[in-house]
Structures are given as structure tokens and as C-alpha cells.
Amino acid sequence: MTRTIHGLLALLALIVFSLPNAVQAAEDDTFSQEEVMSKARGFFGETTKGLAKAVEKVFKDQGRPNAIITGEEASGAFGIGARYGKGELTKKGGKPIKIYWQGPSVGFDIGGNASKVFTLVYHLKHTDLIYQRFPGVDGSFYVVAGVGVNYLQSGETILAPMRTGVGLRAGASIGYLHFTKEHSWNPF
């Protein structure tokens, strides 16, 4: 009986002392809020108060991302629309890889815009898993000082694109973004 108790205590001690290492390993694969803000400052130039609040909101909702997409896009709509973008996907500690996206939309949406896009990516186990369609609703889920954020999800992978740019566009629509290795004019 004493051996069993000692064995259980030893196992419990091993688990307790291993937890900080497991948490540290998980954090080593993700970006902290400070790292994200530093990358956002480098990408957008100057960090606005609106961008800082948007990053804070996404961190509160989703936690620490394990990848970031930085890029540019153009979109337009007159009821039916299309969006095209290009950029780089970076996982923590990895080399950036080129990525393209395009997608259709339909809704009560009119106008056009060009934007810089900074996307936080969650639960991307392998970079090849980004090459798929991510459905979502576009519109103003969260807008502060010219920074808009919406969420797209496919399976476990969640994307939180933050956009800031120029143009005149109003409304809401549903659609998807299809991420690819090559540029395509086909929005589908």
C-alpha cells in the first residue's frame, strides 16, 4: 500500500513539474501580444490607437496566434463582389511563405477599397492547412479608428483579418476567402 502511495505521489510530482514546460512549449509556438504589436508597427508603419484596441480585442477573444499573414488586397462589390490579395504567411520561428487569396461575396454591399491586411491565425497545425476556403460574414463586426476586424473559420483554424485602407464601401455580405499558392483571377 505504501509503495502505491509513493508511486502515485511520484507520478503527481512529475505531472506538476511538467506542466510549466508544456505551457512554455505552447507559448514558444505562438506570438505574444507584444510581438504582434511590434510586427503590426513594422507592417503598418505607425500603430494607431484603433489598431492597438483591435489587437487587444482579438487576443481577448482568441488568445495567442500561432501564425500571422501580412499583405495587401483590393475588393469591390455591387451586390456581388470579389476580393483579391497577396502576402506572406509566417509561423513562429519559421520562414515567411508567399500566399494569395481571392473570394466572392454576395449581399447588401456596394463600393470598392484597397487595404493593408494583418491577419492573426489560430490553430494552424501545418502551413499547408491554410490552402482552403474560409467562409465568413464581411462587414463591420468591430471597427475602431479605421481598423476593421472580422473572423473566418474552417475546421479548427480561425483567421482574424484586420484591415485598414482607402476606398468607399458600405454594407454587409457573406462569402469566403480561398487561400492558394498561386495567384488566380478566378474568385471561386
pLDDT digits (tens, 9 = 90+) for 124-162: 999 999 999 999 876 544 344 467 788 899 999 999 998
Percent of residues, the chain, with pLDDT higher than 90: 36
pLDDT digits (tens, 9 = 90+) for 91-132: 988 899 999 999 998 888 778 878 889 999 999 999 999 999
Give the C-alpha separation, 86 to 97, whole Å. Answer: 11
Higher pLDDT, 177 or 171: 177
Split at pLDDT 50, 70, 90, the class of 24 is: very low
Are 83 and 73 in contact by the 8 Å Cβ rule? The answer is: yes
The three grid cell numbers given for residue 171, joined into one nine-digit string: 454594407
> pTM score, two decimals?
0.78
Reply yes or no on whether the pLDDT at 9 is more than 60.
Answer: no
Reply yes or no on whether the pLDDT at 15 is more than 80.
Answer: no
Q: Write down the pLDDT at residue 27.
A: 57
Q: Write down the pLDDT at residue 71.
A: 95
Least confident of 27-31, 35-39, 76-80, 132-136: 27-31
Q: Write down the pLDDT at residue 4.
A: 54
Percent of residues, the chain, with pLDDT higher than 70: 78
Give the C-alpha separation, 61 to 47, whole Å. Answer: 21
Q: Write down the pLDDT at residue 12.
A: 44
pLDDT digits (tens, 9 = 90+) for 33-52: 889 888 888 887 766 677 78
Are 51 and 162 in contact by the 8 Å Cβ rule? The answer is: yes
Instruction: Enumerate the β-bridge partners of residue 105.
Output: 81, 175
Give the C-alpha separation, 164 to 7, whole Å. Answer: 58
Q: What is the DSSP letter of 119?
A: E
Domain borders along the chain are 1-30, 32-180
CA neighbor of 175 nearest in space, from 139, 122, 129, 127 = 139
CATH architecture of the domain covering 32-180: Beta Barrel (2.40)
